[in-house]
Structure 1
Amino acid sequence: MKLSAVTSAAIVATGLLASTLASADTLKKIADSGKITLAYRESSVPFSYLSGPGAPVGFAVDISNAVVDAVKKRLNNPAIKVDLQAVTSANRIPLLTNGTIDLECGSTTNNSVRGKDVQFAINHFYTGTRLLTKKSSGVKNYADLAKKKVASTSGTTNAQVIRKYNRDMNLDMDIVLGKDHDDSLLLVDSGRAEAFAMDDILLFGLMGNARNPADWVVVGDSLQVEPYACMMRKDDPQFQALVNGVIGGMMKSGDFEKLYNKWFMSPIPPRGQNLNLAMSKELRENLVAQSDKPAQ
């Protein structure tokens, strides 16, 4: 299903609907409607992205599909329909809280601010903000971007992080925002920004999918380590238990590590690039801890 325009009236209504839907039973909603609506991202490589015409692919997409299988089994209804809804960093939380989508598994940071509006599942990845730039730019770290334009993506924690760092270090950067990661990359590719500040794993994925990957480089210190997790509506313990049961079960059985190796240690579509990114210490520890602890 294509992403429909979110009108200003719908955004206003989100606040009114949230208190009602926040306590809704997602499993009952799915059972009554006969469908579950999954969110996907168009350019969050390798988590959730479009590799060509058709349905999205990625590490988080596979997690979402495993949740769907568990929902069908729980409700004893293999005919449950799966609708797909494209989301951006800016609209993913409103579309979840107003009931448009039922589950968002992508590249969403689990932090305490967002936790006031949504519920997060077990953390499935850990990452930090770095910079993607053209090799020809000469940029090596944040200080090289003083008084220059720096791109990030609207609605992300990275945009907040780079703004704070800019203020704290008095770099006088001009922060420009794309609506999604492809837009932010285009700002750099077209010369309208010198670098793109984003989670390092997404930068490596975007670089691998670029027309000329050898022209690009990921640079800079990692400003913080943050967890990714799937989002659900708040106050829905049955659905939360089901989602965590799927992810936790995969972590315990070894299926999670197999899935990780598929998307981070093997060639992936559409260009067959291999990110060759070994599992971090934080994530390996969470295979045992199965924590949903947020970033601050």
Structure 2
Amino acid sequence: MKTLHFLAALAVAGVIAFASTARAADDAPTPPQNADAYAPATLTGTLAKVRDTGTIALGYRDASVPFSYLDARKKPIGYSIELCKSLAAAIGNAVHRNLSIRWVPVTPENRIDALVDGRVDLECGSTTSNLERQKRVAFSPIFFVAGTKVMVKQGSPIRSFRDLAGKKVAVTAGTTNERALRELDKKFGLGMQLQVVPDHAEGFARVANGQADAFATDDVLLYGLIAENASKGGAYQVIGDYLSYDPYGIMYRKNDPQLAQVVKDTFQELAADGEIERQYKRWFLQRLPSGTSLDMPMSAQLESIIESMAGGEAQ
């Protein structure tokens, strides 16, 4: 890396051995080729913790397709998971240890507390980086941009947010989507019957079984859920305008400057050497392990963000 590094470069120390609370993981990806050892005389924060324990705890989601979800073997996979693995590998290289990964399930409601309390060291999901959350946690550079939209069954009369007036609308607890819908409902006096559900899978199920008229979450997550459930029958569509702006980042603990530098430098190199773009193609353009494909080309906005990141201008 070409940014301000605190120490001399190290050779990559081997393969990260993965450990899971109840599941085994595959071999870790190779850290960025030019990853530097970040080993000041006194390590602090997360770097000191993982050096002393030999383990890094990664928080994952069970149904945030294609970012962070469980495959048929109940193993965490996805776009965010792969970026987190690369980051974990770079952290291990920085502290001169082959770290084991401990996978910890998190939900939209508990993910921030899990990070702040030390139950996880990185949160690898589909979490929006916004000013309110940045008061409690820190975020990596942006690696995806989404926005709140609404999913309904094919043939539904709902075509825009105004058609949600009086309707039963499912939304996941603790998300920016929930806030967006509550603000929309209040502003326009829609009288929506909000059904706050624990996770995205439940929101989808509410529409599938007729308990809800619509489910609101980030557009890309809706497309992912539709693709993953295609074999179960039923036809769905994503409708209307964006109801919020949601840039995603990997969460880590606030006020941890040593880790912040590793995160920044690692993402810069992942952008510069094309790894972020390769992972995007893998999860958004190619077939997912389930056999379906989202077929979502990268937006011009995200291309610009990654280009700036590669040049050291993290957003």
User: TM-score, normalization: structure 1?
Assistant: 0.88
Is structure 2 residue 293 aligned with structure 1 residue 274?
yes
Give the structure 1 partner of residue 27 of structure 2: none
Is structure 2 residue 186 aligned with structure 1 residue 167?
yes
Give the structure 1 partner of residue 117 of structure 2: 98
Q: Partner of 1:267: helix, strand, or coil?
A: coil
- The AA in structure 2 aligned to 1:224 is S
Runs of 5+ in structure 2 lacking a partner?
Answer: 1-19, 23-43
Q: Name the Cα RMSD after superposition.
A: 1.7
Give the structure 2 partner of residue 113 of structure 1: 132
Runs of 5+ in structure 1 lacking a partner?
Answer: 4-23
Give the structure 2 partner of residue 19 of structure 1: none
Give the structure 1 partner of residue 242 of structure 2: 222
Deviation at 1:39, TM superposition (A): 0.5
For residues 200-251 of structure 1, the C-alpha deviation after alignment (integer angstroms, 9 at most, x for no partner) is 0000000001144651111111123220000000010111111222222111
Deviation at 1:292, TM superposition (A): 5.5
For residues 87-133 of structure 1, the C-alpha deviation after alignment (integer angstroms, 9 at most, x for no partner) is 00000000000000000121000000000000011000001110111
Give the structure 2 partner of residue 7 of structure 1: none
**CA 103–135 in structure 1, closer or farther in 2 if over 3 Å, else same:** same
Select 1:77's aligned residue among 83, 97, 101.
Answer: 97
**Poorly superposed stretches of 4+, deviation over 6 Å:** none
Q: Partner of 1:131: helix, strand, or coil?
A: strand
Distance 2:257 2:305 in 1: 21
Give the structure 2 partner of residue 9 of structure 1: none
Alignment of 1:17-166 (within 5 A): 25-78=45-98, 80-166=99-185
Which structure is larger by alpha-carbon Rg, 1 or 2?
2
Give the structure 2 partner of residue 12 of structure 1: none
Give the structure 1 partner of residue 202 of structure 2: 183
Higher RCO structure (Cα 8 Å, ≥6 apart)? 1
Distance 1:53 1:255 in 2: 25
Distance 2:21 2:275 in 1: 31
User: TM-score, normalization: structure 2?
Assistant: 0.83
Kept in 1, the 8 Å contact 2:143–2:247? The answer is: yes
Give the structure 2 partner of residue 21 of structure 1: none
For residues 1-46 of structure 1, the C-alpha deviation after alignment (integer angstroms, 9 at most, x for no partner) is 559xxxxxxxxxxxxxxxxxxxx61010001111000000000000
Amino-acid identity (%): 36
Deviation at 1:81, TM superposition (A): 1.4
Distance 1:249 1:88 in 2: 29
For residues 35-69 of structure 1, the C-alpha deviation after alignment (integer angstroms, 9 at most, x for no partner) is 00000000000000012123210000000110121
Is structure 2 residue 252 aligned with structure 1 residue 232?
yes
Deviates more, 1:233-242 or 1:86-95: 233-242
Q: Which has the higher helix share?
A: 1
Give the structure 1 partner of residue 275 of structure 2: 255
Size of the alignment, in residue pairs?
272
Kept in 2, the 8 Å contact 1:125–1:228? The answer is: yes
Q: Partner of 1:137: helix, strand, or coil?
A: coil
